[in-house]
Structures are given as C-alpha cells and as structure tokens.
Copies of this chain bind each other. A is one copy, B any other.
Amino acid sequence: MRQQDPSPASAGGRLAEAMQRGDVFADLCPSREVLNHVTSRWGVLLLVALLGGTHRFSELRRKVRGISEKMLAQTLQSLEGDGFVDRIAYPVVPPHVEYRLTPLGQEVGQRVEALADWIELNLGEILSARQARQATQASVE
C-alpha cells in the first residue's frame, strides 16, 4: 500500500475501513442499497424538495419537473422504505396524500443538499478547469 497514515486529508471514516475488508462493494450490502436510493437520479431531487416541507404528490410532480408518475411513486416508496419519508393519506375523495421527511430523512437530506449545493456553487471553477485542460490538450497534439 502506498501510504497508510490515517490522517493526511480525510481522517478516514468507517467507509474507508470497510473498503479494506471489501464488504462495502457487495451490491447486496444494505448500506450500498440505501446509498443508491439516496443518490439516485430522482432521490437527490426529491430529498432536496422535501427539505422545503410537506408536499402533496402532485406538488412534487410539478416541483421536480420532468419526473414521471412511475418514478415519483417508485422513488418515494424506496425513500419511505428506508425511513426517510412519511406518507400520510387522508381518507377523502378525491384522495389527498402528503409526503414529508422524517427526522432521519432531514439528516440525510441535509447531507445530500450540502453535496449538491457545493457542486452548484463551484460549478464555475469546475467548468473553467475543464477549459484549461482542453487548452493543454490542444497545444500538445
């Protein structure tokens, strides 16, 4: 191994430890499954949307523009299954259903938003780094 001092930049969390054992990568690993739900295409956006408070099905559909009913229902179910969202159905006609984050969901949602927001904030720097590299490439060939 190249260097095993545990504190150069990252302070190595449990994930880093688990990587050594190789048991993070089995796709059936529960934490990988949860991570996939959370970082999935629509999971990220739904968590951010729900950080804004309780929403109805149709409200989420409008707010998360471009999502199909199928994926909205499916993603909400997976997040509900992980205990991140609560589904509250009022027995009226026409049906009225509300979704909101559980305390657990708010915690994970904040971390997801922290990541997404960082990217949004630093997008300029990221893209200009891309430019610089393309210029280098051009001068080489």
Give A residues with C-beta under 8 Å from B: 1-4, 8-10, 12-16, 18-20, 22, 24-27, 30-31, 34-36, 38-39, 41, 44-45, 48-49, 51-56, 59, 63-67, 81-83, 101-102, 104, 106-123, 125-127, 129-130, 133
Chain B residues with CB under 8 A of A3: 52-54
**In the complex with contacts A30-B127, A111-B115, A126-B83, A54-B14 CB distance below 8 A:** no
Chain B residues with CB under 8 A of A120: 13-15, 18, 31
Chain B residues with CB under 8 A of A15: 48, 113, 116-117, 120
Partner of A116, one of B1, B35, B54: B35
Q: Give how many copies assemble into the complex.
A: 2
The closest CB in chain B to the CB of A1 belongs to B59
A130 to B83, CA, bound (A): 7
A81 to B129, CA, bound (A): 8
The closest CB in chain B to the CB of A6 belongs to B52
A18 to B116, CA, bound (A): 12
Chain B residues with CB under 8 A of A83: 125-126, 129-130, 133
**In the complex with contacts A19-B63, A111-B114, A126-B51 CB distance below 8 A:** no
A115 to B82, CA, bound (A): 15
